[in-house]
């Protein structure tokens, strides 16, 4: 790469958040050969528990209406992750919806890899509690504000306002007035990379935060 380089360009930002958001956007726009991990994901899946039933749903347009666990590129990866959790915590693949139940205990219960919720050794409620405990570290945080916000960064004379609404990154603006105007737009589709960049400063309020109601 060094031998092929003819020039180096850079864009100065007001802080680390702006730099990370800009990097993520440029990689998706320019599709550089060596940066595959941050390329745009057209579809995302998450795990949802609804009335005791485990579902793997499309969360490309994250609404925040229900608690979700994990962000996966496709249903297969979500299923594989759920299977690994089942192995680690002796959960039942029948109750997780990964294997079809034929009205009898699963094979894993017979060899001790399932705690036996499928045959009454533990209640379904206890099984659900253990599942939620296992998924706790994968929780996708719900949006904590009633409106869009701007994360304000400043370095010397440069100021930037990063506008976010329900984890949807709308854009970065030079003034608070521009940020307020932009907050009225719908913004981009939910992006897992932007979520990972924004979740810490938004929840910990480690950066100056302005409500754009």
How confident is the model at residue 101, as a pLDDT? 74
> Minimal CA–CA distance to 165: which of 193, 192, 205, 195?
195
pLDDT at 38: 61
Query: 108 or 129, which is more confident?
Result: 129
Contact 178, 190 (CB under 8 A): no
What is the mean predicted confidence (pLDDT) over 6-30?
A: 93
- Residue-averaged pLDDT of the chain: 87
CA distance 56 to 77: 10
Position 145 confidence tier, pLDDT thresholds 50, 70, 90: very high
pLDDT value for 131: 93
62-80 average pLDDT score = 82
When pLDDT is averaged across residues 119-141 and rounded to a whole number, the result is 90
What pLDDT, on a 0 to 100 scale, did the predictor assign at position 192? 83
| pLDDT for the residue 71 | 85
pLDDT score, position 64: 57
**Average pLDDT over every residue of 111-130:** 89
- Residue 115: C-alpha distances to residues 102, 118, 119 (Å): 18, 8, 9
> Residues 166-204: pLDDT tens digits?
888 999 999 999 999 999 886 667 788 888 899 999 998
pLDDT at residue 42 in the model:
59
Quick one: pLDDT at residue 39?
A: 63
Question: DSSP string of 148-185?
Answer: -EEEEEEETTEEEEEEEETTEEEEEESSHHHHHHHTTS
Q: What is the pLDDT of residue 32?
A: 83
State the pLDDT at residue 99: 84
Q: How confident is the model at residue 159 (pLDDT cuts 50, 70, 90)?
A: very high
Higher pLDDT, residue 59 or 143: 143
Would you state the pLDDT for residue 62? 62
Q: Which pLDDT score is estimated for 120?
A: 87
């Amino acid at each position: 790469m060094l031998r092929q380089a003819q020039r180096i360009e850079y864009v100065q930002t007001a802080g680390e958040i702006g730099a990370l958001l800009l990097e993520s956007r440029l990689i998706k726009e320019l599709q550089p050969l060596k940066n595959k991990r941050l390329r745009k994901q057209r579809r995302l899946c998450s795990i949802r528990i609804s009335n005791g039933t485990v579902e793997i749903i499309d969360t490309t347009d994250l609404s925040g209406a229900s608690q979700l666990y994990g962000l996966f590129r496709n249903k297969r990866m979500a299923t594989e992750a759920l299977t690994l959790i089942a192995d680690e915590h002796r959960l039942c693949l029948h109750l997780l919806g990964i294997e079809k139940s034929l009205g009898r205990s699963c094979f894993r219960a017979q060899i001790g890899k399932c705690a036996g919720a499928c045959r009454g050794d533990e209640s379904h409620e206890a099984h659900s509690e253990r599942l939620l405990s296992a998924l706790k570290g994968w929780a996708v945080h719900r949006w904590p504000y009633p409106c869009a916000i701007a994360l304000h960064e400043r370095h010397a004379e440069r100021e930037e306002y990063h506008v976010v609404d329900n984890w949807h990154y709308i854009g970065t603006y030079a003034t608070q007035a521009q940020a307020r105007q932009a907050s009225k737009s719908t913004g981009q589709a939910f992006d897992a990379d932007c979520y990972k960049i924004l979740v810490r400063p938004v929840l910990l309020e480690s950066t100056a935060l302005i409500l754009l109601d």
